[in-house]
Structures are given as C-alpha cells and as structure tokens.
Amino acid sequence: MSDVAVISTFHSDEECAQGILALHDARIHEFRAFFPFPSEKIMEAVDHVRAWGRSPVRYWQLFGGITGVLTAIAITFGTSWEWNLNVGGRPIISVPPYIIIMFELLILIGGLSGLTGFFVHNRMPVFDLFPGYRSRFSEDKFGLVVQCEESAAAKVESVLRDAGAEDITREILEAATGHH
C-alpha cells in the first residue's frame, strides 16, 4: 500500500477555504494548501484548522533587535570609555547621540534576524517540489493536496469534490515522506 497525493484545484479562494474546513470536518489532517497570494479567507481557515498560533519568526526579530541594541551600547559606550577623548565639552559617554546608533542597530540586526528566522522556519531555499505542486498554484489557482493511503483516497476525493474542487487528480508518492 503506497501513499498517494490527491491533488485538487479550486477556482476561488473561498472554495479552497471551504475545502480546508471540509477536510477538517472529515478528520483528514495530512494536507497542504497552495495559493498564489495570502488570501484572508484561506489563512483564517488554516488558522482554525491547524491551531499553529502565530509564526515564530517574530521571536527571531525580537531577539535580533535586542542583540542590536546591546551591540550598539557595547560599541558606543565601550569605545568612548576606552578611547576617551573629550570632544566639544560633552560627557565621555554622552547618551543622546548614542540612542541613534542603538536604534539603527536594533533595526538592522532585528531585520536581518527576522529574515534568517523566515528562511529557517520555511526551510528555504527549497530545492524539491512538494508533492502535488502544480505551477498554476503560483498563478491563479488554489490547490489542496492531501496525502493519504490509496484506500482512503476515494473518500478524500469525494470530500473535496463536494467542497467545490474543479479538478482532482491522484499521484502516487514514491516513499512515504510524512512531514510537512
């Protein structure tokens, strides 16, 4: 018994969202949705079904930002203290100008960390196509790909058809790759 991928194509995002909810109602959880733009309806349906919570990328950005501020403090305070030239009658460690450096490094390191987190959590760059991916899912169609055993495929197909899929095909998967 090998796994198959049931690939359904939807014409509109509303129908795709309904498909996701229908799959959830039918207790089918091994699916992946493909869509060319982040439709609010689909994202809501996904949130409802998956209970993932908010993306963890924000922690990368937060800690990156904090690191940036601390780095700035280290560089500015540290170099002023170590090479202490009195310039313009200002305190050796004069905080108002250093706030600017702290802010810029907060943004720089925070932004770059967030980007890194984004790549890490999406495991990008992705070199292999996900099972069931079709090029039209990046253009104007919405896709729902369900991974299941061959025996269960018919049921999955009927759920999807009822939800409004305009086209359903099957593809046999070579080895059971279980992760998302």
For binding to other proteins (CB under 8 A), which residues are involved?
32-39, 42-44, 46, 50, 52, 54-55, 57-58, 61, 75-76, 79-80, 82-83, 85, 87-90, 94, 96-101, 103-105, 107-108, 110-112, 114-115, 117-119, 121-122, 124-130, 133, 135-140, 180
Smallest distance from other proteins to CB 113, Å = 10
User: Which C-beta is closer to other proteins: that of 3 or that of 132?
Assistant: 132
Q: Tell the smallest beta-carbon distance from residue 160 to other proteins (Å).
A: 16
Answer for the pair 28, 9: CB distance below 8 angstroms, yes or no.
no
**DSSP per-residue codes, 101-135:** HHHHHHHHHHHHHHHHHHHHHTTPSP-SPPTT--G
Q: How far is the CB of 168 from other proteins (least distance, A)?
A: 19
CB 137 within 8 A of CB 34: yes
| Contact call for residues 134 and 143 (beta carbons, < 8 A) | yes
**Nearest alpha carbon to residue 138 among 55, 44, 31, 38:** 38
- Output 65 or 148, the one with its CB closest to other proteins: 65
Is residue 156 within 8 Å of residue 148, measured between CB atoms? yes
Nearer to other proteins, 94 or 150 (CB): 94
Task: Give the nearest distance from C-beta 151 to other proteins in angstroms.
Answer: 26
Structure tokens at 36: 């060319």
Q: Which is nearer to other proteins, 59 or 154 (CB)?
A: 59
